Structure 1
Amino acid sequence: MTMDLRALKTFEACVRLGHFLKAAEELQYAPSTVTLQIQRLEADLGVSLFVRDGKRVIVTEAGRWLHREALVLLKSIGSIRQTVSDIGAGDKGTVRFGSIEPVASQRLASVIADFCRNRPNVELTMEIGGSRSIAERVRTGELDFGVCSTPSANYRLEFEPLLEERLGVMLNVNHPLAERASIAVSDLAGLTVLVKEPTCIYREIWERTVGTIEPTPFSCIEVGSFFVIQQMIQEEFGVGIVPLYQGLEQSGSLVIRPFADRNPVVTIGFAYKDKTFLGKAALRLMNAIKSFPESLPL
């Protein structure tokens, strides 16, 4: 049995209006088209759906049951069409993306909040992780895109540069170096330097920066959170290697100074497999991140 959805729609109109001619006028069909569609539907089902009473039609018991089910089906189809249309326009759907810190909290938080307010029907998932783990999850399709450093060529991902970040030194305002406009690597001699874990791109950039210095004139402590680094420095323990974000500074307690003799830079951007396979909502979010003023370099 094949059931034409157009015939079901015609059938529903005939039942609701009680007249084939009125159904034809509403649907803008020729009367003969309505009659033919009902006849084909009855032939497909092997039952009579109407009893003709002059110009009027009376619905049979089978027709009444079909009408109830047809209403549910047509409503469901209408909902499906609307949802597909909304997904195509970027107003519905799902977006799964990842971002490294502190890019996520310092640059993206306000963008994400604005995006969610404007598109409340988009299901958005934002993961926080390291560049390598984000690139891996994009490669396997678990994430639509990532905001991270340049992924390894082995991942075969597209990379669209977004901004450049420079590393600096976070200090307590009471530290003697806090009065300087910039700090040389040699100024860190004898100090305890708080750095991120080895898999963090900022740690990698830092090690490349000081890799030529032998022996290293300072001691390092690994701390897996920029927030914890903030708190330790606030307690006047050590200095931290962090990106130059004004948002990481705390008025009256912490400052971040650039390097005077080095220029440790990391490029942050979008990593994705193929833009042609990204949903409209994901593309809209990427465009929002690119265009939002607060996402621009400081």
Structure 2
Amino acid sequence: MDLRALKTFEACARLGHFLKAAEELQYAPSTVTLQIQRLEADLGVALFVRDGKRMIVSEAGRWLQQEASTLLKSVGTLRQTVSDIAAGENGSVRFAAIEPVASQRLAAVLADFCSAWPKVELSMDVSGSRAIAEKVRDGELEFGVCSEPPPAFQLEFEPLIEERLGVMLSPDHPLAGRDFIAASDLAGHAVLVKESACAYRQLWEAAIGPDRRSLLACMEVGSFSVIQQMVQAGFGIGIAPIYAGLERDGALLVRPLADLHPVIEIGLAYRTKPFLGKAALSLMDAVRGMRTAAPAAT
């Protein structure tokens, strides 16, 4: 049984005439007759009962007509979906991004993309740079927005933006009135940092060095959102990328460091482009718009 023969049978049964089916399908009448004969031979059952010049669908044929109609509609949907996926207008894209890039830069990009490509199903994870790179390497994600992956992962990396670390304070903190804050000013205060696997945490520790780090009372917190809430509640100073969006309606301040300039490149991590579908490539093009987006606060 092949789809062409099934399509011919469905047209014959629906139209009640082989000649009308041949005209609709643009086949020669002999081709229609041959396909029906082959289908009947394949199934071992008569699909039509001949009553003089009329062709009446048999009981088995009536059941097959119903099932064939459903199947052919499914095949039509399948063909259209595959075509849309090939054109980048359908399908699914799995990707991930680190915080606060995900919320501060990507939210608007994703909203615009979903509006322009409503049939594309997006799945976004928020995780650390290394975890993202591992999932991209293993094929669990199409791409990631993170810091540069280790060379051993053999991933492509396309830098998009540079981020600079700063100090997050509550407005009533003793250091809040300063335009710049030196690393030495942090002594005696609780310093809130991300987990050890976080690229921002690693950047901070590399910038401050082991000697000065030993003089600070650091507390590990696994979420920038929780760091924001703790600082806003008056507990500690947060180490975070400098984003205007992190300054919550005047309830938080982010100040640059006076004597340190820790900068990290954030970009697209992906396997070579042949592994990517058009929907993923289209979304990556949209994410590249971060290059021209409004810069973070400085």
Matched position secondary structure for 1:170: strand
2:74 maps to which of 76, 84, 93: 76
Partner of 1:149: 147
Partner of 1:234: 232
Most deviating of 12-21 and 216-225: 216-225
Residue 45 (str. 1) matches residue 56 (str. 2): no
Partner of 2:180: 182
Write out per-residue CA displacement over residues 167-225 of structure 1, whole angstroms, 9 at most, x where no aligned residue.
Answer: 11112222343233222323334333221121111110011111164575432222222
Partner of 1:64: 62
Within 2, Cα distance between the matches of 1:296 and 1:160?
A: 19
Partner of 1:284: 282
1:7 maps to which of 5, 9, 15: 5
- Give the residue type in structure 1 aligned to 2:110: I
2:112 maps to which of 92, 95, 114: 114
Within 1, Cα distance between the matches of 2:148 and 2:293?
A: 18
Partner of 1:97: 95
1:158 maps to which of 153, 156, 159: 156
TM-score (normalised: structure 2): 0.89
Partner of 2:271: 273
Aligned residues: 296
Contact kept, 8 Å, 2:232 with 2:251, in 1: the verdict is yes
* Structure 1 residues 31 and 248, CA gap change in structure 2 (3 angstroms): same
Most deviating of 236-245 and 178-187: 178-187
Contact kept, 8 Å, 1:108 with 1:295, in 2: the verdict is no
Matched position secondary structure for 1:179: coil
Within 2, Cα distance between the matches of 1:66 and 1:250?
A: 64
- Give the residue type in structure 2 aligned to 1:210: I
Matched position secondary structure for 2:239: strand
Most deviating of 210-219 and 16-25: 210-219
Q: Which runs of 5+ in 1 are unaligned?
A: none
2:194 maps to which of 193, 196, 205: 196
Within 1, Cα distance between the matches of 2:127 and 2:18?
A: 63
Contact kept, 8 Å, 1:95 with 1:123, in 2: the verdict is yes
Contact kept, 8 Å, 2:48 with 2:56, in 1: the verdict is yes
* Structure 1 residues 232 and 48, CA gap change in structure 2 (3 angstroms): closer
Within 2, Cα distance between the matches of 1:291 and 1:215?
A: 36
Contact kept, 8 Å, 1:107 with 1:294, in 2: the verdict is no
- Give the residue type in structure 2 aligned to 1:36: L
Within 2, Cα distance between the matches of 1:61 and 1:223?
A: 70
Matched position secondary structure for 1:81: helix
Contact kept, 8 Å, 1:96 with 1:125, in 2: the verdict is yes
Matched position secondary structure for 2:176: helix
TM-score (normalised: structure 1): 0.89
- Give the residue type in structure 2 aligned to 1:19: H
* Structure 1 residues 215 and 245, CA gap change in structure 2 (3 angstroms): closer
